[in-house]
Structure 1
Amino acid sequence: MASQTTGIQQLLAAEKRAADKVAEARKRKGKRLKQAKEEAQAEIEAYRNKRESDYKRYEQSVLGSRGDREKSIDQETLQKIRSIEKNVQRNKQQALQSLLNMVYEIKPELHENLRL
């Protein structure tokens, strides 16, 4: 009977060691999964940053920067304003004279709806 008790105790001890090894293996597996997840997140973030910077470079090359477009629009607007101002100065006298001639040269006429 003593040998049976010793055998049972050895069996229980072996079972406990096996349970400990399984628990340790589970912990290692959990650590590996957590580490793999963190590495995957880091890779995803690096890839996202790279693609975002590539997109921004592409956008700059295709569309140009917003500041450049604003400057070119401002320059075009100023050129148009200057051109209009020059045209006004050049044609001012002629337009004023034409307007004054219309006012001064009144030709009285009967209205076409007036029946005689």
Structure 2
Amino acid sequence: MAQKTEGIQQLLIAEKKATDRVHEARKRKAARLKTAKKEAEAEITAYKEHREKLYKNAEQAAAGKHGSAETEIAAYTNKQIVELEKNMKMQMQKSMVLVQDPLFDIDISLHENVKLN
């Protein structure tokens, strides 16, 4: 009977060792999963930052092209405005002469019906 209890004791000890090993293996697996998850998140973050930089650079390049067109249009518009204002001033002076000439060109003469005695 001593052998039976001794055999049972050995089985219990072996079962406890196996349980401990399984428990340790689960802990190691959980730790590996955590580190793998952290590494994956770091890679994802780095990739996102890289793509964001590329996108912002492309966006700035596209905006720069449109921005130069806008400045060209603004410069052309300002040039046209200056020319129109200059033309308007010149035409205004001509029109003033046309309006003022008849007003100030007064013929001072007696009317034909007036008789001088």
Give the TM-score, by structure 2 length. Answer: 0.68
Q: Structure 1's 96 and 35: CA in aligned 2 closer, same or farther, altered over 3 A?
A: farther
Deviation at 1:58, TM superposition (A): 1.6
Q: Structure 1's 96 and 38: CA in aligned 2 closer, same or farther, altered over 3 A?
A: farther
Q: Which amino acid aligns with 2:94?
A: Q
Give the TM-score, by structure 1 length. Answer: 0.68
Aligned-CA RMSD value: 2.7
Give the ranges of 4+ consecutive aligned residues of structure 1 lying more than 4 Å apart after TM superposition: 68-71, 73-77, 95-98
* Bigger Cα Rg: 2
Pairing of 1:1-116 with structure 2 (within 5 A): 1-64=1-64, 68=67, 72=71, 75-96=75-96, 100=99
Q: Which amino acid aligns with 1:61?
A: A
What 5-or-longer segments of structure 2 have no aligned partner?
104-117
What 5-or-longer segments of structure 1 have no aligned partner?
105-116
Identity %: 47
Deviation at 1:6, TM superposition (A): 1.1
Task: Tell me the matched-pair count.
Answer: 100
Query: Could you list the per-position Cα deviations for residues 65-116 of structure 1 after superposition, in whole angstroms to 9, with x for gaps in the alignment?
Result: 88x5598265455434333322322222234556x48xx8xxxxxxxxxxxx
Q: Structure 1's 25 and 91: CA in aligned 2 closer, same or farther, altered over 3 A?
A: same
